[in-house]
Structure formats: C-alpha cells, structure tokens
Amino acid sequence: MAAVEQSGRPVVQVVDSLRTGGTERMAVDLSNLLADRGWQVHLVATREGGPLLDDVGPGVVLHQLARRSRWDLDGLRRFRRLLADLQPVAVHTHGWSSLQFASAALVGRRRVPPIVHHDHGAARYRRRPRLFKLVAWPFVRAHLAVSRSLLDPPLVTRRPAFAEVVVNGIPLDRIAPKVEWDRSDPARLVCVGNLRQQKDPLGTIRAIEILRDRGHQVTLDVIGATPEPELEAACREAAARLGPDVIRFLGRQPDVGQRLRDYDLGVIGSRTESGPIALIEYLAAGLPFVATAVGEVVAELPPDLARWTVPPSDPVGLADRIGEALALGEAERMALSERAREVAGGLSMDRVGDVVEGVYERLAAADRRAR
C-alpha cells in the first residue's frame, strides 16, 4: 500500500492489542481503509502489539502505549496528550476494555471528542458489570454494534447517542477464490477461529468423530491462536483419539486468505458469535461451508445459503449437514461457490467504511451546530 499523506481530518482508533482476533482485525482493516480514503488515522494499541502489526498500512500512524494495568497512569497521560494534539473528529474504541481506557483518559478534559464505541462482544449491555456501564455513560455519542442483539437494550449515556448495526466485513481482495473442484480423498475440512470456549471446538471435533464413525473419510485443519491452555489440551486429547493427522492444529497462519481455496469445506461450530469473520472469508473464497446459526453474518445470509447452517451445540446436526455438503456433485459445488462469492460482495470492508464515515460526518455536523 502506498504511503498516504496525513492531511485529512484526524480520527483515533483504539484497541487493546494487535493480537489475532476479530476485534483486532476489524480495527486494523478499518484503519487502513479510512487512511486510504484520506482520513488522518491514528491507531492506538493500548496494551501491546502482536501479529497484526505487520498488517498496519503505511498510511496509519501507530501508537503502542504498553499499559500494564487497567489504569496505567503513564499510558493514560500519553493518550491524553495525543488527543490534545490531534483534536480528533472522533475516538473510535473497539471493545469494552478500550472504551474503559479511553473514557478514563477523557475525564476532566475541557473539550472532549465524541467516542464512537464499536461493540464486538457477544455479551449484551444488560449483562455488563455496573462499572462497564458507567464508562459508557459520559462520552459515548455513537454505539456501533456488529450484531443487533448488542443494541438490546441501548446504552445509557449522558447525551443522546445514536446506534447503528455494522455487520462485519473484510477486504475481499485478501481472499483467493477457489478454482479447483476435484474433491480431496480424504475430504479436507478447515475451521478458522481462535481456540476459545465460545467457538465450541470440542463440539466440532465430536462432529468429525461422528462422520468418521459413519464411514466418511475426512480430516480437519484448525487455524487460529490457542489462548486457553486447558481447552487446547482437551482438544488435542480428543483429536488424538481419532488417530494421527485426522485433526491438525495449525495455530495462527498469516495467509489464511490464500489457503482456503485448497480445502473442500469450511466449518464453524461456535456456540456464540457476533460475526463471524471466518464465514465471510469462506464466502469470499467460494468455499462451501457448514456453520452454526449464530451471529449477524449468518442472519444476513439468503435462504439458499442459510440452509447450510445448523443450531449450535449439536454435534450430530453439524455432522449431518457436513455429510450433506460432502455429498454434493461437482456442478452443485461450483454453483454454491459462485453464489457464496456473490453474497460476499455485500460483506466488504468498503461497506463498513461507508457506514463508519457516515457516523463521523453525523458527529461532526452535530459538533458544528453546538458551537
């Protein structure tokens, strides 16, 4: 990406870290897009860097505060100085921890930029602890949620805040389309997602076991970080019972978008999701998929693709639907792939950028009227 002149209106994106995850990926991709569109983008990682550091474009100014605690005073001071220097159109926080940090930094300031809170979490506002609800109250002017469920009930804020549903999106040019349709033997399945309880990887492994007990020759590659050691150990133990190389844990892979075309089927077995971004990646690759019916991306699917979803926490149902997908003929798989890529066109990062820019413009107009 060519360097972008930092001459546009400033906006600050705030995220805890640049580890691999849906929240962090959205913060980086959105920052890159806004910089390409002429905004002066400052991306603040309040805690640490991570693998996504390499994906931050040259048009984005990166700040790593390296805070060691929730109320790290040095980090708060540095963030306050940055806001004083920039006078940004908005402070765009990704996730509740980032909102908490940014709100603390704004306390006592005479001129306070509006906070746009981008809610990526699976927990609704009513289930948030009282302290988290309090940090939303003073400064949030816009609540962007990746799922409609996150807006119920709406945030309680000091000044009226407006809400928007912003379904996740990805840069579609990051994904290589599937072009070969000879099915592998055994069939190669992939599950993209960090190994977390909400992803229910043990349920997915159980579905693979059921398929193999039924005579299906399938393997599964699990791509994603492993942040929960006990869950990882349980998954590896369950996978080992199926034999060597049936299920492989590949960890984080930087080139997921180029790898997907080599598989026969994408799988998502999550109990809860706000996205999931992995499903958009499957669609963009034209990769046939089976997913649990959770998250806003699934809610956006047309009926002909929604038929490839199943209720969560049902390994037998997941195995049944995977078996149906593997039974499709070549012409059916090609038609499904073409349809998936068509639907992915409506889940691009450009669409996310359009919504976000509209929010910024709305806030800027309100600020001008208030002066």
249 & 318 share domain: yes
Percentage of the chain with pLDDT > 70? 97
160 & 302 share domain: no
Q: Is 97 inside a domain boundary? A: yes
> Residue 11's closest CA among 56, 44, 42, 45?
42
Strands of 265-268's sheet in order across? 247-251, 218-223, 187-192, 265-268, 289-292, 309-310
148 & 204 share domain: no
User: What integer is the mean pLDDT of 124-152?
Assistant: 84
What's the burial of 239, exposed, middle or buried (CB within 10 Å: 0-12/13-18/19+)?
Answer: buried
141 & 62 share domain: yes
* 34 DSSP β-pair partners: none
Report pLDDT digits (tens) over 27-57. 999 999 999 999 999 999 999 889 999 999 9
74 & 137 share domain: yes
298 & 277 share domain: yes
Q: What is the DSSP letter of 333?
A: H
Q: What is the DSSP string of 120-147?
A: --SS-GGGS-HHHHHHHTTTEEEEEESS
Percentage of the chain with pLDDT > 90? 80
CA distance 240 to 230: 15
Provide the pLDDT for residue 237.
98
Structural contact between residues 119 and 97, judged by C-beta atoms closer than 8 angstroms: no
Phi-psi region of 38 (alpha: psi -120 to 50; beta: other; left: phi over 0): left
148 & 197 share domain: no
Q: What is the DSSP letter of 216?
A: -
Predicted TM-score (pTM) above 0.95: no
Q: What is the DSSP letter of 182?
A: P
Domain containing 237 equals 173-344
> Residue 227's closest CA among 50, 63, 30?
50
| Lowest-pLDDT range of 2-16, 93-107, 261-275 | 2-16
> Residue 55's closest CA among 256, 228, 190, 226?
256
> Residue 15's closest CA among 79, 115, 92, 123?
92
Q: Is 314 inside a domain boundary? A: yes
CA distance 227 to 251: 10
Report pLDDT digits (tens) over 309-339. 999 999 999 999 999 999 999 999 999 999 9
* 251 DSSP β-pair partners: 223
CATH number of the domain residue 234 falls in? 3.40.50.2000
Report CA-CA distances (Å) from 53 to 12, 19, 67, 178, 282: 17, 8, 17, 28, 24
Structural contact between residues 347 and 283, judged by C-beta atoms closer than 8 angstroms: yes
237 & 355 share domain: no
Number of residues that make up the chain? 371
